[in-house]
Amino acid sequence: WSAFAPDFKELDENVEYEERESEFDLSDE
Amino acid sequence: SLPMAMRFRHLRETSKTSVGVFRSDIHGRGLFCLRDIEAGEMVIEYAGEVIRNTLTDNREKYYQSKGIGCYMFKVDDNFTVDATLKGNAARFINHSCEPNCYSRIVDILGKKHIIIFAFRRIPQGEELTYDYKFPIEDEKIHCHCLARRCRKYLN
Amino acid sequence: QVLLALHDRAPQLKVSEDRLSVTGEKGYCMIRATHCVSKGQWYYEVTIDEMPEGSATRLGWAQEYGNLQAPLGYDKFGYSWRSRKGTKFHECHGKHFSTGYGEGDVLGFLIILPEV
């Protein structure tokens, strides 16, 4: 089923998301 | 009867042969039993990307803007598992107002996991469902679970 | 004495024993001081002891309802100055303010509030 969604990644277990420095920003300078 | 941690250790492998994703009468695709599942059995972990709760609103808006269905499961006051772009087959489990499974947040060696358990004995071929327990909201989402005592709305 | 608050902060932050230093890791979150101000002119300074590569700070002034699990300047309850590029932030919008700051720098924050 994961072949139907090319951007989708199948996981065996949880992965912790690593936030970017700009994660919360709507606009930078 | 085995400790939770031991049961969980085997879950990753066993769930690959015990359940599978197929077309569902409830909605889109669903998760189905490939073999008989016993009552109380650990079925599958709802796995995905673990994110802080402050990120969920923006992610939800982003997915909606792209027309991507949002698959999130809140773990506790701090974290949510987002299975939208990274996840496993558990993301396909549909809601039912009369489910055959239930979810539990289980602490295993200091880390929390969302695990789906069987309420009762589930024969091979039956679709797995659990109660999403969405909070009540004004904007209603219709329920198509086909249960006799369907609550009509997910929220 | 004004110190870093132990109960008005994101719990994952590590506060020093003297409560004058704080260390963070992973995503942005917030800590405030034990005392707030509501009128008059107030000033405080922060020294950046360590800033490993890939790390950053957003420092400034926050109101009570500012989200502790987000960077300062995420919502309307905070105003911040970022180490990277020296950008100022409020309500998630960054604007150019100064050049960036880093390890060893001492930063000063002045607030001018009405007397009444």
Per-residue three-class SS string for B109-122: CCEEEEEEEECCCE
Token reading at A23: 């994660």
What is the sign, positive or negative, of the torsion defined by CA atoms of B70, B71, B76, B79?
negative
pLDDT at A5: 67
pLDDT in tens, A1-24: 565 666 789 999 999 999 999 999
pLDDT in tens, B80-138: 999 999 999 999 999 999 999 999 999 999 999 999 999 999 999 999 999 998 889 99
pLDDT at A1: 59
Nearest to B50 among A7, A14, A24 (CB): A14
List of chain C residues whose C-beta atoms are within 8 Å of the C-beta of residue B54: 67, 69-70
Q: C116 CA to chain A: closest CA distance, Å?
A: 34
Terminal Cα-to-Cα distance of chain C (whole angstroms):
24
List of chain B residues whose C-beta atoms are within 8 Å of the C-beta of residue A11: 47-48, 86-88
Q: Is B144's pLDDT higher than 90?
A: no
d(CA C13, CA C104): 21
List of chain A residues whose C-beta atoms are within 8 Å of the C-beta of residue B111: 14
> CB of A15 within 8 Å of any CB in chain C?
no
Residue type, C6: L
Residue C25: band (very low, low, confident or very high) from pLDDT cuts 50, 70, 90: very high
pLDDT at A14: 97
Nearest to A24 among C28, C95, C97 (CB): C28
SS3 label, residue C57: coil
Which of C69, C72, C91 is the mutation pick for testing B, counting most B CBs within 10 A?
C69
Q: Pick from B11, B7, B13, B33: which is nearest to B93 by CA?
A: B33
d(CA C22, CA C11): 11
d(CA B43, CA B10): 11
ipTM confidence score: 0.90
User: What single-letter DSSP state applies at residue B137?
Assistant: -
What is the sign, positive or negative, of the torsion defined by CA atoms of C36, C41, C45, C51?
positive
C60/B135: higher pLDDT? C60
> CB of A26 within 8 Å of any CB in chain C?
yes
